Structures are given as C-alpha cells and as structure tokens.
Amino acid sequence: MEIIRIPRIMQDISKDFLLRGKTIGFVPTMGALHDGHLSLVKRSREENLITVVSIFVNPAQFGQNEDYNIYPRDLEGDTEKLIKENVDILFLPDAASMYPEGYLTYINVENLSEKLCGAFRPGHFRGVTTIVAKLFNIVKPTRAYFGQKDFQQSVIVSKMAGDLNIDIDIVVCPTIREKDGLAMSSRNSYLDNAQRQAATIIYKCLKETCESIKSGIIEIKNVKNFMLDFLSKEPLISEIDYAGIYDTSSLEELSTAKENMILAIALRIGKTRLIDNMLINIKEER
Ligand code: AMP
C-alpha cells in the first residue's frame, strides 16, 4: 500500500490509473477504523481495480464546541488494517494542504443540510460536502462508498453529485453493528462501560418501532412519541436531538405511511453524540 500525502501527487496518480483504464473505488474516512469502515473497503475492492482510502479529520465539519481536538486517531492501527485489506493507496492529506491560507470555497446542499443532524450541528454538512467534493476532485473515483449509518450524509452527498453533474457512482452500504446491535462508530470509544451498555437502547428502539409499525400496532403519526417513550426508559441518555420517522429523500418527518421511510435517532449519552437509523420498506413488509 502506498501512502500519499500531497493532493497534487494523488491527482496525478489517479489520472494515470484512469488513462490506463483502471476503475477507482474510493472510501473517505476520518480514521480510527472499525469493521464498518472495512466493509466499505471490501465492497470497493470487489467492484474496482484500484481502491483508495482517505483518512482526514476534517476541521470544517466540526462545530466550535465539538470534538475535533479529541476525535480518536490511530494512524498506526489504521494503516495495518488497510494493508490487510489490500488497499492500494492511503491518501493522508493534512489540514494545511486541504485548506491552505486564503481558502474561500464551500459547497452547501440547501435544505437537506439543515434537517435532522443539520439542525443541531450548524455548518456540519457544509463542511462534509466541501471536503467530499474536494476529495472527489483529487481522487477522481469511479465509485465512492458511504455507510448507511450516516444516512443523511449519504442522501446529501448523492444529491450534491446529482446536482453538480459529478460523474461518480455513490454506493451506500449497510450499517455494521456490534453483537448487541450498537452501530459501530469511532465515537463509541468515548463511552464508559455503563454508557456503552446504555447505548444498546438505540438499536432496540429502532427494532421495536420497526416491528410495531410492520405489525400495525402503531400508526405513523404516533411513531415519534412511541420512540421517545421507549428511549425515556434509559436514564443515562442526557439529551435526545431527534427521534422519529422520515421520508428517505426529502428527510421530512412523516405523519402518514410512504413506501420508503427511515426511522432515525440522534441522542447524547453523557457528552457523546450517537446516531443510528433503520430503513422501513412497507411494500416488502406487508
Ligand atoms: P467516518 O470515519 O465516521 O467519517 O466514516 C467514514 C465512512 O464509514 C462513512 O461513509 C460512514 O457512513 C461509514 N461508516 C461509519 N460507521 C459505519 C458502520 N457502522 N457501518 C457501515 N459504515 C459505516
């Protein structure tokens, strides 16, 4: 595996791959890699001749009071994992090369970026779409891989690619979970034992709500209250940003059933913000 740190060099290497007819699969990450990240890498390896993974903790997507400075970093462990997965290139830029002095250009997908997590993390998705667009221009992938775990992110990135005629297939891969259902996340390492145990309520709530909708026990208009009631059983939850059922494309909260809906939760346990979601396809299930 080659490690490339300079954007211009990465660009030249990608140009050369494309000239030689190679397909490039790309997995953008912020590192502290776990099996969720590696599932994207495996998928990219299956579908492309070359796989590029980036690790960049993007300052532009963190709010002032968020965890940029303490975000988990494990370059050595990450490198080992990526070598084992036969990744071709690890792109490892630094903040100064991505946002040099005088940097002025940002991309914002309107409306969708203000919903759900966007309402609680102002500017977050503007930072995400900006870095993803920059990475796309540097790595020039044929396909780019994102996790359903960050569902809103995948919707926004797909919308950006469509709106800006970016010729890249956006592939969304299923959420990888711990044995007890907790979605894998680099931020899970912030949790102490009691908090880690408490965090299992998120997946339990999604599953129970999904089953109750499928079996007709709850109506769509009552889903939010059902979820809030369920989550209120866990005293270690310090704050619930949102819980409810949403349209998978507009991200609007729903009061009546649609074909493709998503249950989504964002909450805090102590200071740690956790998110998770579950797709519900009524056609499949009735
Ligand atoms: P991050 O390093 O958190 O920015 O995540 C990089 C990519 O990995 C994003 O596309 C995430 O959605 C994806 N990802 C993170 N956690 C998981 C997971 N548990 N299962 C599948 N994909 C994930």
Per-residue pLDDT of 146-180, as tens digits, reads 999 999 999 999 999 999 999 999 999 999 999 99
Question: What pLDDT sits at residue 276?
Answer: 99
Predicted TM-score of the model (pTM): 0.98
Q: Name which residue sits closest to atom 12 of ligand 1, judged by CA.
A: 147
Q: Name which residue sits closest to atom 17 of ligand 1, judged by CA.
A: 36
Question: What pLDDT sits at residue 283?
Answer: 67
For the cut 60, the answer to whether the pLDDT of residue 284 exceeds it is no
CA 17 – CA 50 distance, rounded (Å)? 8
Percent of the chain with pLDDT over 90: 98
Question: What pLDDT sits at residue 286?
Answer: 43
Ligand 1 in reach of 147 Cβ (< 6 A): yes
For the cut 50, the answer to whether the pLDDT of residue 270 exceeds it is yes
Ligand 1 in reach of 144 Cβ (< 6 A): no
Q: Which atom of ligand 1 is nearest to the CA of 183?
A: 19
Q: Which atom of ligand 1 is nearest to the CA of 37?
A: 8
- Condensed to tens digits (0 to 9), the pLDDT of residues 198-222 reads 999 999 999 999 999 999 999 999 9
Ligand 1 in reach of 275 Cβ (< 6 A): no
Mutate to test the pocket of ligand 1, among 51, 75, 150, 168 (most ligand atoms within 8 A of CB): 150
Q: Is 37 a catalytic residue?
A: yes
- Condensed to tens digits (0 to 9), the pLDDT of residues 107-144 reads 999 999 999 999 999 999 999 999 999 999 999 999 99
pLDDT-derived band at 281 (thresholds 50, 70, 90) equals confident
- Candidate list 37, 134, 143, 149, residue with the active-site label: 37
Q: Measure 154 CA to ligand 1 centroid, in angstroms.
A: 10
Question: What pLDDT sits at residue 282?
Answer: 74
Question: What pLDDT sits at residue 5?
Answer: 98
Q: Name which residue sits closest to atom 13 of ligand 1, judged by CA.
A: 147
